[in-house]
Amino acid sequence: MNITGTADLAEAVALRQALAEELLSSGSIASAEVEAAFRAVPRHLFAPEVSLQEAYANDVVRTKQDSHGITISSVSAPWLQAMMLEQAGLGPGMRCLEIGSGGYNAALMAEVVGPQGEVTTVDIDADVTGRARRCLDAAGHEPVKVVLADAEHGVPEHAPYDRIIVTAGVWDVPPAWPAQLADGGRIVVPLRMRGLSRCVVLVPEDDHLVSVAHEMAGFVAVQGAGAHAERLVTLHGEDVGLRFDDSQLIDAEALRAALRQPRAETWTGVTFADMEPFDGLFLWLATSLDQFCLLSRARTGTARELADPASPIATPTLLSRDSFAYVTFRELDPASRRFEFGAYAHGPQAGDLAATMAGQIQQWDRHHRNGPAARISIHPASVPGSQLPDGRRIRKRHTTVTISWPGH
């Protein structure tokens, strides 16, 4: 995409202002500083592969795929970038590190921190950093430092940082990141916990990190030393699969056989409105269920006949050796668009598993649906269990992540 005339430039400016207005009206932008950044930075210069309309759409722009066609680098959706900038609480004069480069987000950060601040962006892929450098220069953001390195180790030469914003999905928080954080700093990171990704705002507390907020968000997976692939067990070709984020032992053939058995169902009486988010329920189930994984299915009619989960991408699932149950919902009233949560289950223990899943949905509705969000604590892996808070503990390479629910 080349802007060659006054008309093209005027259209780009108009589209940029319209995008800012959309982000304001949706609540993605909440501060004057972030609003000014979105109005100032020409996003089309960071997405030259697509049209002006696509560059300023409130959607992701994919910039690099691997040999299997899987996206490994992108310019994230504007609503998500705005949310993370607001989570970070950037301000003038701050020193910032962005982990995962695209150029556009670093330019937004540079606009907010201003000439007295400093932005460093790092990526492991030379194609990505080269592209980011070219785009930043074209947009007039030459002072942004672009570093080619594995972000597992941070960027110590420009530390300490008031803010670290991670724009790649990670499984763990390496010790270099909190070590390179300035006093009073915070880390915003899309962290995967039992397969579920949450964009978590972390601040230091004594010798560990604690969350002050978290939101559902998905990102391209981090590469390098921090990479940690999920395990996929297919149950019916590419139609239905189970995703595992840890090394639990399963009997794949028994679970495939379970899918072929008649479906049991249990309904909960817990209802929700159309477009009402229920990511808190998913996190509660990841916390409360021991034998846990996520069910995914293809977006085809054949796949839906086999499994009808609440989310085709990733739905909480309870396992036994030869059976499984997952969250679903049904429409109660087409006029009011009201829905009810339930559980579908397959296998010899389908009835028991569906009842257990339904019970946990009801537990969330009674005690946590309208209460405080879960608290996420991240301690070094060396800290003994006796010194960790109560809650669901998730052992990782560098850390132990604990998810605790107030009042539970």
Percent of the chain with pLDDT over 90: 88
Give the pLDDT of residue 2.
Answer: 52
Q: How confident is the model at residue 10 (pLDDT cuts 50, 70, 90)?
A: very high
Give the pLDDT of residue 7.
Answer: 62
- Dihedral of CA 326/236/319/374: which sign? negative
How long is the chain? 408
CB 99 within 8 A of CB 132: no
Please state, in angstroms and rounded to a whole number, the distance separating the CA atoms of residues 110 and 408.
42
Give the pLDDT of residue 55.
Answer: 94
Q: Are strands 118-123 and 145-148 parallel, antiparallel or unpaired?
A: parallel
State the average pLDDT over residues 211-240.
Answer: 93
State the average pLDDT over residues 111-124.
Answer: 97
State the average pLDDT over residues 243-257.
Answer: 93
Give the pLDDT of residue 3.
Answer: 57
Name the nearest CA neighbour of 119 among 148, 158, 157.
158
Please state, in angstroms and rounded to a whole number, the distance separating the CA atoms of residues 103 and 13.
19
Could you tell me which residues come within 8 angstroms of residue 243 by beta carbon, excluding any fewer than 6 positions away? 195, 230, 231, 232, 233, 293, 294, 295, 296, 314
Q: Is the pLDDT of residue 378 over 80?
A: yes
Give the pLDDT of residue 63.
Answer: 76
Give the pLDDT of residue 138.
Answer: 96
Exposure letters 165-182 (e unless 16+ CB within 10 A, then b): bbbbbbbbbbebbbebbe
Q: How confident is the model at residue 247 (pLDDT cuts 50, 70, 90)?
A: confident
Q: Is the pLDDT of residue 228 over 90?
A: yes
Give the pLDDT of residue 66.
Answer: 72
Please state, in angstroms and rounded to a whole number, the distance separating the CA atoms of residues 202 and 173.
11
Q: Please name the amino acid found at residue 191.
A: L
- Dihedral of CA 257/260/264/270: which sign? positive
Please state, in angstroms and rounded to a whole number, the distance separating the CA atoms of residues 295 and 310.
10
Give the pLDDT of residue 31.
Answer: 97
pLDDT: which is higher, 60 or 209: 209
Please state, in angstroms and rounded to a whole number, the distance separating the CA atoms of residues 380 and 78.
33
Name the nearest CA neighbour of 2 among 39, 52, 43.
52
State the average pLDDT over residues 391-396.
Answer: 97
Q: Which two tokens stand for residue 156?
A: 């110590």
Please state, in angstroms and rounded to a whole number, the distance separating the CA atoms of residues 47 and 150.
24
Question: Which pLDDT tens digit goes with each residue over 33-85?
Answer: 999 999 999 999 999 889 999 999 999 888 766 766 666 667 889 999 999 99
Percent of the chain with pLDDT over 70: 96
Question: Which pLDDT tens digit goes with each residue over 284-305?
Answer: 999 999 999 999 999 999 999 9
3-state secondary structure the chain: CCCCCHHHHHHHHHHHHHHHHHHHHHCCCCCHHHHHHHHHCCHHHHCCCCCHHHHCCCCCEEEEECCCCCEEEEECCHHHHHHHHHHHCCCCCCEEEEECCCCHHHHHHHHHHCCCCEEEEEECCHHHHHHHHHHHHHCCCCCCEEEECCHHHCCHHHCCEEEEEECCEECCCCCHHHHCEEEEEEEEEEEEECCEEEEEEEEEECCEEEEEEEEECCCCECCHHHCCCCEEEEEECECEEEEECCCCCCCHHHHHHHHCCCCEEEEEEEEEECCCCCHHHHHHHHHHCCCEEEEEECCCHHHHHHCCCCCCCCEEEEECCCCEEEEEEEEEECCCCEEEEEEEEECCCHHHHHHHHHHHHHHHHHHCCCCCCCEEEEEECCCCHHHCCCCEEEECCCEEEEEECCCC
Q: Is 288 a catalytic residue?
A: no
Q: How confident is the model at residue 408 (pLDDT cuts 50, 70, 90)?
A: low
Please state, in angstroms and rounded to a whole number, the distance separating the CA atoms of residues 322 and 15.
54
Residues in a beta bridge with 188 = 165, 201
5: exposed, middle or buried (Cβ count in 10 Å: 0-12, 13-18, 19+):
exposed
Catalytic residue among 28, 73, 296, 323: 73
Q: How confident is the model at residue 119 (pLDDT cuts 50, 70, 90)?
A: very high
Question: Which pLDDT tens digit goes with each residue over 134-169?
Answer: 999 999 999 999 999 999 999 999 999 999 999 999
